[in-house]
Structure formats: C-alpha cells, structure tokens
Amino acid sequence: MLRNTEQAWGTVAKLLHWSMLLLILVQVALGWSAVNWALSPTKINLFVWHKAEIAALAPVSGPPRMSSAPMSGNASR
C-alpha cells in the first residue's frame, strides 16, 4: 500500500516520517557535539549542511501531509 487510505498511512508516508526522524536525531547529536568544537572548516561545513538539510526537509514533508486524507477517528481541534 503505497498511498494513504482513511485507515492507514501509506508506505511512502511512513518512510518519509521515519527518515525525517532519523535526520532530526542526527542533527541534534551533531549540534550537541559541535558546541565543543573549535571554529574550523569542518565545523563550518557541518553548519552549512545543517542549514541545507532543514531547507530540504520542509518542502518534502509538507505536500504529502497536506494532500493526504484525514485518518478516521481523528477529531478536528
């Protein structure tokens, strides 16, 4: 089941969800470790990668979420 249904999320949505979680955890781990690093080309490259990843994740995660059907049983708040 690649596409979302009213009863379950599709494979693509699940893959994006867990991939984003993994990337966010990597971001947090790098952020905590980078605090103690001296200013260097490596630190600057990681900072640039961090910004590029955030910019790349937002457009990828938004449209599938907005275009999916609401799940049954979820109350609107």
Predicted local confidence at residue 77, as pLDDT: 42
Predicted local confidence at residue 67, as pLDDT: 61
Shortest CA distance to 67 belongs to which of 8, 13, 19, 27?
Answer: 13
In this prediction the pTM is: 0.60
Q: What is the pLDDT of residues 3-59, one digit of tens each?
A: 777 788 888 888 888 888 888 888 888 888 888 889 999 888 888 887 777 777 767
Shortest CA distance to 64 belongs to which of 20, 7, 33?
Answer: 20
Predicted local confidence at residue 71, as pLDDT: 57
User: What is the number of other CB atoms lying within 10 angstroms of the CB of residue 59?
Assistant: 8
User: What is the number of other CB atoms lying within 10 angstroms of the CB of residue 4?
Assistant: 20
In whole angstroms, what separates CA 46 from the centre of its chain?
17
Query: Which residue has better confidence, 73 or 22?
Result: 22
